[in-house]
Structure 1
Amino acid sequence: MKELIENFGNQLKEALIIGSNSKLEKYKKPFSNVLIIGMGGSGIAGTIISELVSHESKIPILVSKTYFLPSYVSENSLVIISSYSGNTEETVEAIKHALKRKAKVVCIASGGKILKMAGEKRIDHIAIPKGMPPRAGLGYSIVSMFFILYHFKIIGGKFRAEFKASVKLIKKEGKNIQKEAKKVAKVLFKKIPIIYSPVGYEGVSVRFRQQLNETSKMLASHHVIPEMNHNEIVGWRKKNNNLAVVILRNDSDYLRVKKRIDFTKKVISKYTSNVVEIYSKGHSMIEKSMHLIHLTDWIAVILAQMKKVDPREVQVIESLKVILKNL
């Protein structure tokens, strides 16, 4: 797993080449909405990209993580199917519903039933490299989604330069990222992590939580500010040093959100001494997000090493798949 994280920058670079070479059909009909369907490590790219392009897209981009489709999906919808293995059962079922609704479907997968279906039914798709855990293929998934949105003129092409800048940033900051990750991992070791982030970066928080779940074998929770200030902040009432808080921040955060985060930190510091802030680096939201994702991925794998657990192992998920297969 360590080698896959080390290769994240190169993966982004390769994903840009794959996206540039993808051959999607021309489609002049305008869409009224976009739905991204994906589970777990394959679906998190949808959660992240929906925030990253929210200031640019003129139509809603929503995410679905279940077997069925919302009622609004129609022939005027663009449905992006993301399944690293190509065999995720919820996603395989959802694509069938999307085709029945006559939505425009584009798939992202490394193989499996979905790529087979795409070939048989002549469905647009982007094939990505196989041979890794789905969560380790985030770079391929998210860059492919950007190219799909760009192809259908939902967003512009500036993302390419921003991902290239992300690659340079990750390479430049590599040693500092690992150094900071080790410091944060020590704070989280044998604790229950709680992750807070500003609005616009909730997808990054979810990614971090999922990495702690799967890679580090830890329970964790997350919330977003300012929403957290209207509910969860009241729950901080008793001293509990079994909790460790990580606050993801950006120098560019909205001033009122900065003030809210400062106040929130002051409140929770009364109840746990384990509070750490992680500031993103980079200029664009894409750069900041990729930096935070790479750093928090390192935190998760370092925690796995500290706990002496296998970062790749997800046996309980595989056991569930066997049970469901035999239904």
Structure 2
Amino acid sequence: MTTVLDNPEKIKQIDKSNMLNDLAKTPDYCRDAIERAKQVNVPEGVNPKNIVIVGMGGSAIGGELLQGWLREKLPIPIEICRDYTLPAYTNKDTLIFANSYSGNTEETLTAFLTAIQRKCTVITVTSGGQLAAFCKKLQVPHVLIPSGLQPRVAVPYMFFPLPVLMQKLGILSDIEPELQEAIAVIEKVAKANAPAIPLNKNRSKQLATKLVGTMPVIYGFRQYIAISHRLKAQFNENSKVPSKSDAFPELNHNETVGYEAPEALNKMQSIILIRDSREPPEIRNRIETTTDLVLTRANKVLEIEAEGDGKLAKMFSVLCLGDFASVYLAILQNKDPTPVDIIVKVKKELAKKSGMKERFDSELSKLG
């Protein structure tokens, strides 16, 4: 079968900003992120009672990945804050990671300033902007990462510094083997799904081909809830299609009833189930029962099987495959995956109305 996905020249014409090349560099970004975090001096004597990771979009997903990975490992609660306001409980016993790729995300900057006022321990990850300027003037530890990437491509820089910093703070230990296995699996998946690998041997191309003309609906569980959110966002931003995500077992208490909708509506959806060879029996039973009784009403039911041994490696194996699939789906629709024109327009309109930039500039000037 002839497909545009096996035509390198046509791919280059559509993928004008070469996002596929950025995806291929993901393992290098992971290694660089780790090394940059290792160079950061962190405060001593930090013993947080809770951790809050502040960020939006691609800058928030790193925190969500951390939360999912450590859910059954770390006794300290982790919360993701995708808003201007911090939870009321945040105080001097809170560790705040403020992630903003651009450094100019108004929600993150607002929450960052609140964290400083509440005397939280604050560490940031950014490529520059006003957040980096605040960190320099306030002497807040920060991981400075490369600029010039799309924030969603920079997820390695938004995730890998966090566990490294937590190890430096004494919150985590012995993480190196898990981090290195994750990078090795990312490298393997990236090579197996590269543009040069033909459709008949390329799982990401196969997945994208099956999704054409439908809305991807991704279902995960536990640590894969973050991955389902990531894939949903990638189909939105890269593929330029509606998408949604949900999680077992919660979806059995509400989402499944939605499949009583008219057949024509159900047939617009393609279900993607994230699977794991070691998934708990109670979750496996729910996935299989729900598929048999409900999900077959959709256009199709597809599965992504996690690869690797450790939890983190498995998470990133699915993430990496989904990233490639979202770009291939864009190419199949003759869409350049990189531009996000609507997001840019919304931000510009909000900037005109909010006055946030002027407020942050004023705050910076007060610091001298």
Instruction: Please indicate the TM-score interval, normalised by the length of the shorter structure.
Output: over 0.9
Task: Kindly indicate whether the alpha-carbon contact (under 8 Å) linking 2:96 and 2:121 is maintained by their aligned counterparts in 1.
Answer: yes
Query: Distance in 2 between the 1:116 and 1:214 partners?
Result: 29
Task: Kindly indicate whether the alpha-carbon contact (under 8 Å) linking 2:64 and 2:226 is maintained by their aligned counterparts in 1.
Answer: yes
Could you say which residue in structure 1 is the equivalent of 2:223? Answer: 200
Could you say which residue in structure 1 is the equivalent of 2:166? Answer: 149
Say if 1:269 and 1:325 are closer, same or farther in 2 by CA, change over 3 A.
closer
String of CA shifts for 1:123-182, please: whole Å, max 9, x gaps: 011111111010100001100111122222222232x22221122223334444451111
Max radius of gyration: which structure?
Answer: 2
SS in structure 2 opposite 1:155?
coil
Query: Distance in 2 between the 1:298 and 1:157 partners?
Result: 31
Task: Kindly indicate whether the alpha-carbon contact (under 8 Å) linking 1:58 and 1:154 is maintained by their aligned counterparts in 2.
Answer: no
2:275 is the counterpart of 1:249: yes
SS in structure 2 opposite 1:196?
strand
Aligned ranges 1:4-83 → 2 under 5 Å: 4-26=22-44, 28-83=45-100
Please state how far the C-alpha of 1:198 moved relative to its aligned partner.
Answer: 1.9
Query: Distance in 2 between the 1:175 and 1:7 partners?
Result: 10
- Give ranges in structure 2 of 5+ residues lacking alignment: 1-18, 195-201, 354-368
Query: Distance in 2 between the 1:23 and 1:220 partners?
Result: 40
1:270 corresponds to which of 283, 290, 296: 296
Please state how far the C-alpha of 1:273 moved relative to its aligned partner.
Answer: 4.0
Query: Distance in 1 between the 2:130 and 2:224 partners?
Result: 32
Query: Distance in 2 between the 1:260 and 1:190 partners?
Result: 28
TM-score, scaled to structure 1:
0.96
Task: Kindly indicate whether the alpha-carbon contact (under 8 Å) linking 1:246 and 1:277 is maintained by their aligned counterparts in 2.
Answer: yes
Task: Kindly indicate whether the alpha-carbon contact (under 8 Å) linking 2:268 and 2:299 is maintained by their aligned counterparts in 1.
Answer: no
Query: Distance in 2 between the 1:176 and 1:252 partners?
Result: 23
How large is the RMSD of aligned CA atoms in angstroms? 1.3
Could you say which residue in structure 1 is the equivalent of 2:313? Answer: 287
SS in structure 2 opposite 1:135?
coil
String of CA shifts for 1:60-93, please: whole Å, max 9, x gaps: 1101000011100011111110000000010011
Query: Distance in 2 between the 1:215 and 1:270 partners?
Result: 27
Task: Kindly indicate whether the alpha-carbon contact (under 8 Å) linking 1:198 and 1:253 is maintained by their aligned counterparts in 2.
Answer: no
- Give ranges in structure 1 of 5+ residues lacking alignment: none
Task: Kindly indicate whether the alpha-carbon contact (under 8 Å) linking 2:23 and 2:190 is maintained by their aligned counterparts in 1.
Answer: no
2:207 is the counterpart of 1:184: yes
2:245 corresponds to which of 222, 228, 232: 222
Query: Distance in 2 between the 1:5 and 1:37 partners?
Result: 24
- 2:27 maps to amino acid: G
Please state how far the C-alpha of 1:269 moved relative to its aligned partner.
Answer: 4.3
